[in-house]
Amino acid sequence: MPVKAPVCHTQQAQISRRQLMRMGAWTGLGLAGSMFWHATRCTRLAAAGRTEQNPRPGGTLTMWIAADPANFDVHQNSTYVTQHVTAPCYNGLVQRDPLNPNRIIPDLAEGWEVSPDGRRYTFHLVPEVTFHDGRPCSSADVKMSLDRLRQPPAGVISLRQEVFDAVDEILTPDPLTVIIALKQGSASLLENLAEGHVAIYPQHILEKEGNMKKVIVGTGPFRLKKYTRGVSVELERNPHYFVKERPYLDGITIFIMPDPNTAYAAFRSGRLLMLRLLDIDLGKRVAQEFGDRIVIQRTAGYRFRALHLNTSREPWLDLRVRQAVDLAIDRPACIREVANGEGAIGGCMPPTSAWALTPGELHGIPGYGPDIKANRAHARRLLAEAGFPGGLKTTMLALQGSSSERLSAFLKGQLAQIGVEATVDVRETADAYDVLNRRAFDTASWETAFAVADPDSVFSEFFTCQAARNYSTLCLPEVDELFGQQSQALDSQERKKLVREMDRRILHGHGSLLLHWGNYLTAQWPQVRSWMQHPSLYSNQRMQDVWLARP
């Protein structure tokens, strides 16, 4: 039997929304709107026998991403390959505590107050912060950045526009004060401000360039040194960073490696100090080969795999056809065969959250029932009723990469069970996301991650009529109505009831077929210290406090 690598798990516990309102939205000290907190049960971020505990400066952290970023404008991108490259270079108003994801702590805002009615947030900025080009950062930069996200100008795509719909206006009475005035109370405001994509950009660069696609100019602990397309992104320490004695690292090098096996070989040789196990097969290989010489962190992630059916096109306009495809898919098999067991079945909200539908509630929804033979027989009857007794043909968009291609191959086989012949269209990252965002596909097998597990954020990003990542284009006005009601509900039980009703209606619409939720695994050599894997792929990527012990 191979020796297992030490694995850090995340456990979750529930607290009431009323408690969170007191902790967060009214005091600015906690995490408003979230229904669960995360605490590490395993804190072994070094192998046994390593005694060096005091952070020491120096060294370069090496990691990998699977593709070149389409561009550097994190406001307009959803892929992690952009966010992981830019996160070390930017700050937000607030942030998640790197070693305690349940807390929201200061960032560019050194403190804030909330009015008694919860409709006015006043943030006080850290003085004398400068961008990488030496220009000062002020409230004007914050206002322009947030306005760009909530009211994007022509030609700009904001994937987070709807989560800031409660914002009425942003005021800047002086260079170090930002006031966010709300139309109504929003318990999830701080959560969304702490989201990794809400970077503060320099106003003078935005006005000159129009976007941040080709440049990275932030206030963060690292700055762009060199980008070699297809090879690496090199970041260097920002000597003028406003947090004293940070960062510890001299730099970060992010290698671009489309093939996970190449990344694995680089980790084996020590060229990579961290290996994000986006391909679950690598997790097994790493644990078997290295045992307790390395550390593997694991947490239930804010990520799901789905098959998106473009409901603006035939034959997906017909609910019967969409339901038939949903009934054809064996979800437990998807977890076994695609995710190697690293996942859980759920609806629109993460299964670990208090908002999630129960297994019993899910079993009553077509596609979630356990009798796959009966499901597929029903599916074939629905196709016949819809005018496709002999089945139909479609194309399936897929992202280049072993995990995504494995998912599309699995789904192709599943759909074939009911006579749906899918031709898989595999594209590299930039092209695939362009097709996806333009909704220029028939179906799309996709893995999606997000940052904030609050219904305001999740539904407004994926499932409401105008949601930026509503890839299926399914629009259910009754869901939008329920969304507005739950967003303002202060009673946790009332809100939970509304959220679960939204979830059921979305699943019964069979637009985006949620296959399963996945875990995150990251392997690291024991000299990497002070980094904790968050349930969000987009959280805790700044690396400001990470340091390297002697190997």
**Rounded to the nearest 5°, which phi and psi values hold at 124?**
-110, 120
Q: Which residues contact 467 (CB under 8 A, 6 or more apart)?
A: 162, 459, 460, 461
> Could you give the angle at the alpha carbon of 493 between the alpha carbons of 492 and 494, nearest 5°?
95
Q: Which residues contact 55 (CB under 8 A, 6 or more apart)?
A: 248, 529, 530, 545, 547
**Structure letter (DSSP) for residue 21:** I
At residue 6, does pLDDT exceed 70? Answer: no
Using DSSP's 3-state secondary structure scheme, residue 551 falls into coil
Band (29; pLDDT cuts 50, 70, 90): very low
pLDDT, residue 7, reads: 45
Band (160; pLDDT cuts 50, 70, 90): confident
Contact by Cβ (8 Å): 353, 457: no
Query: Residue 485: is it exposed, middle or buried by C-beta count within 10 angstroms (0-12/13-18/19+)?
Result: middle
* Residue-wise pLDDT tens digits, 219-253: 999 999 999 999 999 999 999 999 999 999 999 99
Band (278; pLDDT cuts 50, 70, 90): low
pLDDT, residue 19, reads: 32
Contacts by 428-435, CB closer than 8 A, 24 or more apart? 428/67, 428/400, 429/66, 429/67, 429/68, 429/70, 429/79, 429/81, 429/399, 429/400, 430/67, 430/68, 430/70, 432/397, 432/398, 432/399, 432/400, 433/70, 433/77, 433/78, 433/79, 434/70, 435/397
At residue 283, does pLDDT exceed 80? Answer: no
Band (13; pLDDT cuts 50, 70, 90): very low
What sign has the CA pseudo-torsion 267, 273, 279, 285?
positive
* Residue-wise pLDDT tens digits, 443-479: 999 998 888 888 988 999 899 999 989 999 999 999 9
At residue 33, does pLDDT exceed 60? Answer: no
* Residue-wise pLDDT tens digits, 80-98: 899 999 999 999 999 999 9
Between residues 99 and 12, which one has the greater pLDDT?
A: 99
Band (402; pLDDT cuts 50, 70, 90): low
* pLDDT mean across residues, the chain: 88
The mean-pLDDT minimum among 260-264, 306-310, 367-371 falls in: 260-264
* Cα separation, 337 vs 258, whole angstroms: 21
* Residue-wise pLDDT tens digits, 122-148: 999 999 999 999 999 999 999 999 999
Task: Calculate what percentage of the chain has a pLDDT beyond 90.
Answer: 70
Band (26; pLDDT cuts 50, 70, 90): very low
